[in-house]
Amino acid sequence: MGINDHPQPQRWSEAAAGPELRIPFRFEEALTERLRLRIMTDADVDAVHAYQSRTDVCEYLLYEPRDHRTVSEKIAKWSQRTTLEREGESLELAVERRADGQVIGDLYFSLKTVEHSCAEIGWALHPDHQGLGYATEAAAELLRMSFATIGLHRVIAEVDPRNDASVALCRRLGMRQEAHFIEELWFKGAWADTVVYAMRETDWHDTTIAGAGTLPAHFTSEGPDRTRKPLKPG
Ligand SMILES: CC(C)(COP(=O)(O)OP(=O)(O)OC[C@H]1O[C@@H](n2cnc3c(N)ncnc32)[C@H](O)[C@@H]1OP(=O)(O)O)[C@@H](O)C(=O)NCCC(=O)NCCS
């Protein structure tokens, strides 16, 4: 029997004990207390350009400030992406405030690996709407969707450690720091570090109140409960 006659080892995801993802996953929309997360449309170009064109917003994002045409071309592509099934597929979602329909930011959600059941999340808000818990509320919903709806095992966020607001957001969500890569990226003219924050499904069950909506346990609808420590600081 030659080596090629042996049965091929089974891929982990095909093994009986492997993870079972509920994919293909078609995103429609998601509602939180104050927000609607939805697929972007052409009508969002001005609102998205208002913050993606800003140097302060883009300081730690992989892209440079975008002009109107670039945002328009991006949204034309993002609006066609509604389903996650294969590794590397991603969604770019508009974060819309329910009270007035204003688009205040966006969320990135990528199926990083199907075999190992992991997604990556990212975020950006217009500075006018930062500091109000919107990113926490929106990202908490993505974590709920990841674990409760799609059945993922792990969600990560890759962040520049100088990006205090993004690091704080990861920690508020209950994600833990798992790695710090030194000078991993040639980023905007200099070497930059990356920290990886992560949450497993079991962590998520620990950090959310069952049935209490989308906010992490140490937040109330009035804002953070300062009397409680974050559940799992990174
Ligand atoms: C990263 C980013 C999305 C974080 O935004 P943010 O406004 O700090 O995060 P939130 O919307 O969750 O707001 C949290 C703040 O609101 C406060 N807050 C007020 N009401 C709240 C409520 N109901 N619920 C939760 N937090 C509330 C929190 O205490 C916190 O304030 P603090 O920073 O003074 O502690 C934002 O800085 C950003 O868009 N940056 C530019 C893009 C970027 O760098 N993206 C990340 C690349 S890795």
Question: How many CB atoms neighbour CB 141 within 10 A?
Answer: 22
Q: How far is the CA of 90 from the centre of ligand 1 (A)?
A: 23
165 CA to middle of ligand 1, Å? Answer: 6
Q: Each residue of 70-127: pLDDT tens digit?
A: 999 999 999 999 999 999 999 999 999 999 999 999 999 999 999 999 999 999 999 9
Tell me how far apart the alpha carbons of residues 51 and 49 are, in angstroms, rounded to a whole number: 5
Asked if 51 and 57 touch (Cβ cutoff 8 Å), the reply is yes
Report which protein residue has its CA nearest ligand 1's atom 41.
57
CA of 133 to the centre of ligand 1 (A): 5
- Amino acid identity for residue 210 in this structure: A
The confidence score (pLDDT) of residue 211 equals 41
Q: Find the farthest-apart pair of alpha carbons in the chain and give their distance in angstroms, rounded.
A: 70
Residue 97 is predicted with a pLDDT of 98
The topology under which CATH files domain 22-153 is: Aminopeptidase (3.40.630)
State the pLDDT at residue 206: 87
Residue 229 has pLDDT above 60, yes or no: no
The pTM of this model reads 0.86
Q: pLDDT tens, 128-169?
A: 999 999 999 999 999 999 999 999 999 999 999 999 999 999
How is the chain split into domains, by residue range? 22-153
Inter-residue long-range contacts of 222-227, CB under 8 Å, 24+ positions, other chains counted = 223/133, 224/133, 224/172
DSSP state of 149: I
Predicted confidence at residue 17, as pLDDT, reads 52
Q: Is 123 in the pocket of ligand 1 (CB under 6 A)?
A: yes
Has residue 232 got a pLDDT over 80?
Answer: no
Res 18: pLDDT:
60
Per residue in 165-218, pLDDT (tens digit) is: 999 999 999 999 999 999 999 999 999 999 999 999 999 998 753 344 444 443
Phi, psi of 80, rounded to the nearest 5 degrees = -90, -15
Alpha-carbon Rg for the chain, nearest whole angstrom, is: 19
Question: Helix %, strand %, coil % for the chain, to 5?
Answer: 30, 30, 40
- pLDDT, tens only, 19-41: 789 999 999 999 999 999 999 99
